[in-house]
Structure 1
C-alpha cells in the first residue's frame, strides 16, 4: 500500500442559488483541509433547481469543481445541448442514447495520458493522478434509457485498453437504493468509487466493498436546509394534499454542503477511507 492517497471530494446535487452560496463558502476550505486531488459535483439542479446554465458552470469551476456531473434534469434548459457540447467538464449520463449531445465520461490527464488538465491545488495536493470520471443514470422509477450495467462494462473495457492507469470514479444518478447498491456490487474491484446522487437525501452507509470499491448510496444535496429536497416546503405540501402539480420553486434561507471524501490507494486502487461531509451556513 502506498503512503500517499489519491483523494476525491464528491459533492451532492447543487440546488439553486443557496447551493451555490454554500459551495462558495465551504468548498475552498474543504479542498485545503482534505487535500483533495479531484473535486466532482453534481450540478443538474444548479439553475433555480432545474438544469444548469453557463453562469452556474463558470461559478462552480471558479470555486474549485473540476468535473460537473448531472442526471435527468440536465435537459431542462434549452441551452443544454450547446453547453454539453462546448464544456468538456460538464457530463451527462453516459447511458442516454449516443445520438444526444455531450459525453458521459471525463478523463483527467495523468503522467502518462492526456485528457482534461490535471487540477492544480493551492492546498499542496499533487493533482498528478490519472482519473476517469463516469456519469451513469439508473432506470428504476426514472427513464427507460440504456442499461447502466452494460454501459459501465463498455466504458471500463475501453478504459482498460486506453487508460489502464486511471482511477475510476462513478457518479450513479438513481432513485432506487437497491439499484445503486447493485451497480456498486457489480463494479466492485473494477471502480475505485461508486457514489449515488439524485435523491438529495444523504445516507450513512459509507463502506468499502469486499474487492475494494468505496461506496455511498447518496451524497445528499448542497442547497437550502429548510426545504423539501431543496424545494419550497409549502408548495410541496400543497402538491401532496391536492395532487395538483404546482410549479416547484427553490427554497430560500440557510444552506448546507453535503458530500463525501474518498481516499484511494493509487497502487491497489482500493478505497482506504471515506469521510462524509456536512457543513451548514
Structure 2
C-alpha cells in the first residue's frame, strides 16, 4: 500500500492549494490512502467544521491534528462525530475526539495515530511514549502510521527509534519546514522529522513575512495574517508491505503551485 502524507495545512490558502492539487498528487503517486495534518486549517489557527470539510472534499481520508486542535470550540462536536478526524491521543481523557482511527480495506487494515510531544510545547499533556505503548497494545494491524506533532527534533528522532519495527511510519509535523532526513530505520519503520506544510512558500511558516520579521525584530505584539502567492505542498509518500507493516520506501513530496 502507498500512503500520501501532507504536512500542516495553513489557513484558507492552504485549503485552496489542497483543492487544486491533492487529487492530482494522489494519482501521481498512486496513493491508496491520503493523510493530511489540518490543525492550522482555519484562519489564525485551529480547525473549523468548514476547513475540515474542505480538506475531506479535496481527497483526504484521514485528518490529523496537534497543539491547536482544540482552539476552536466549534470543532468539538465534529471531533466527537467524525471517526477519521483526529487530535493527539495523549490529550486529557476529557478532551473531545479521539487520537486513533483504523481504516478497513478488506485485504488489510491501516491505522493512523496522532501523538503530541512535550519538549518546548506550551501545553503539556500525557507522556507520549507511554501513550503510544497503550495504543499499540490495542491495535490488531501491522500497518500503522504515527503523526508525531512535536517541536524538538531530538524528541522526534527518539520517538522514531523507540517505535522502529513496531509501526510502519513515524512522520513529524508542527514546525512547517520540511526536513531532508527521510529514511527507513533498521527495523523497517519509515521516518521523517518534519513533513512541512501546505501554504505560502514565500512566507514565514505560512504567515506574511513582513509581519513575522516585525515581530522578531521588535518583540512587540503583532497581528499575524496568512500569506498567499506561490504555494507549496510538502509531505511524503510511504510504500508499505501490507502483510508485514514494514516500509519499503519513503520519498519526500514538494509540490510548488504558482
Q: Which runs of 5+ in 2 are unaligned?
A: none
Distance in structure 1 (CA, Å) of the matches to 2:230 and 2:16: 10
Partner of 2:52: 57
Counterpart selection for 2:34 from 30, 36, 39? 39
Deviation at 1:66, TM superposition (A): 0.4
- 1:249 and 2:244 correspond: no
CA contact (8 A) 2:143 2:244 kept: no
2:118 matched to which residue of 1? Answer: 139
| 2:253 counterpart of 1:277 | yes
TM-score (norm 2): 0.96
Quote the residue 1:154 is aligned against.
134
Q: 1:130 aligns with which of 101, 106, 109?
A: 109
Query: Is the contact made by 1:8 and 1:38 (CA closer than 8 Å) also made in structure 2?
Result: yes
TM-score (norm 1): 0.88
Q: Secondary structure at the match of 2:69?
A: helix
Alignment equivalent of 1:225, drawn from 201, 216, 220? 201
Counterpart CA distance in 1 for 2:182 and 2:44 is 27
Match of 2:11 in 1: 16
Q: Which consecutive aligned stretches of 4+ in structure 1 deviate over 2 angstroms post-superposition?
A: none
| Alignment partner of 1:202 is 2:204 | no
Partner of 1:106: helix, strand, or coil?
Answer: strand
Find the counterpart in structure 2 of residue 3 from structure 1: none
Query: Deviations for 1:178-214, whole angstroms, at most 9, x for unmatched residues?
Result: 0001001000000000000000000010000000000
Secondary structure of residue in 2 paired with 1:72:
coil
Superposition deviation, residue 166 in structure 1: 4.4
Structure 2: distance between partners of 1:35 and 1:188: 25
CA deviation string 1:204-225 (max 9, x = no partner): 1000000000000000000011
> Which of 89, 92, 103 is the aligned partner of 1:97?
92
**Coordinate RMSD, CA, aligned:** 1.1
1:171 corresponds in structure 2 to 147
In structure 2, the partner of 1:267 is 243
CA distance in 2, matches of 1:144, 1:75: 14
Query: Which deviations, in whole Å up to 9, do the C-alpha atoms of 1:91-140 show, x marking residues without a partner?
Result: 000001111111000111142xxxxxxxxxxxxxxxx4311100000000
